[in-house]
Amino acid sequence: MNGRIVARAIFETRPAAEGNTAWVDVQVHPQFRRRGLGTALADQLETLATEDHRTSLVVYAVSKAAAGERLRSPTGFGSVPAGNAEVRFLLDRGFRLEQVNRASRLALPLAADIVDGLVEQSQQRASPDYRLHQWSGRTPDRWLDDMALLFTRMSTDAPKADLDVPEDVWTRQRLIEYEDRAETGPKTSVISVVEHRPTARLAGITELGVSAEPDRPVSQNDTIVLKEHRGHRLGMLLKAANIRSLQSTAPGHPSIITFNAEENQHMLEVNEAVGFSAIGYEGAWKKVLAPS
């Protein structure tokens, strides 16, 4: 192999979180497939999981479009081609398809009259009880606790099928340390939040991860509106306002890429109304290991 890396395995856990879940991935260069490398790496991942007392493995695997029989998600939303190599590999190893996620793309720039209209319409629906705030980079001190709560609720409120995803608790200190590291990284964040005026607490957030290189797509990171504040068009307000902020502060990027569970119909409808279109799908798979 002349010293080349032709395959790799990834093993991730959340040590501070309750639960027994590990997120795993195996990647093999196309020229070196069907040589047993993927199987050997997958075996090693299961050994690591057993040694770390993890009994639930989660894999996110992209599935290219293909004709033929489909394997449907048990959520009732979405499917993957049953004959694809990654589908057969995971089924053979005892994984079960739990969820299908849609990858969507929004071409930029979005016309100013369109994005302004979306912001105005959603503000009218939101009522005066909600106020928009925006920033780039570090969270203002006054919002640290509220932002930590929103990030925590992303792990509990987002659709997760039967993936055994544990609660991922964020605290003020964890957020500060995360942003300390992010300041030295290659991306910046463009953030929009909505404040519930009567309580002076944040009700929702959306975040874009922006590369320094303007020819690279922007990543749509977390978007959440707390359950107790849904039904006020806040998701649309957040998305549209943040796109407007992006185009003002970091113009020139070709697109925004986002992933959403197929059963998250409300957020998919918001994305489609903004102008996102589907570009691909991935399966979320789970395997339960015998306790060590």
- Confidence (pLDDT) at 166: 86
- Token digits for 200? 């002076």
Note whether 43 and 95 are same-domain residues. yes
Note whether 121 and 244 are same-domain residues. yes
Residue ranges making up the domain that contains 71: 7-103+283-288
Provide the domain count of the chain: 2
- Confidence (pLDDT) at 3: 83
Note whether 137 and 231 are same-domain residues. yes
What pLDDT band is residue 16 in, cutting at 50, 70 and 90? low
**pLDDT tops 70 at residue 28:** yes
- Confidence (pLDDT) at 164: 83
Note whether 114 and 240 are same-domain residues. yes
pLDDT in tens, 221-280: 999 999 999 999 999 999 999 999 999 999 999 999 999 999 999 999 999 999 999 999
Q: What is the CATH number of the domain that holds 249?
A: 3.40.630.30
Instruction: Answer yes or no: is 262 within a domain.
Output: no
Note whether 118 and 237 are same-domain residues. yes
Instruction: Answer yes or no: is 273 within a domain.
Output: no
Express as a percent the part of the chain with pLDDT over 90.
Answer: 89
Instruction: Answer yes or no: is 261 within a domain.
Output: no
What pLDDT band is residue 1 in, cutting at 50, 70 and 90? low
Note whether 39 and 141 are same-domain residues. no
What is the C-alpha to C-alpha distance for residues 208 and 195, in angstroms, rounded to an integer? 19
- Token digits for 243? 């796109």
Instruction: Answer yes or no: is 270 within a domain.
Output: no
Distances 174 to 24, 33, 136, 144 between C-alpha atoms, Å: 24, 40, 19, 10
Note whether 200 and 240 are same-domain residues. yes
Note whether 217 and 196 are same-domain residues. yes
- Confidence (pLDDT) at 48: 96
Instruction: Answer yes or no: is 204 within a domain.
Output: yes
Beta-bridge partner residues of 282: 62, 101
**Who's near 278: CB < 8 A, 6+ residues apart?**
102, 103, 104
Per-residue pLDDT, averaged over 139-153, amounts to 97
**pLDDT tops 90 at residue 19:** no
Note whether 127 and 238 are same-domain residues. yes
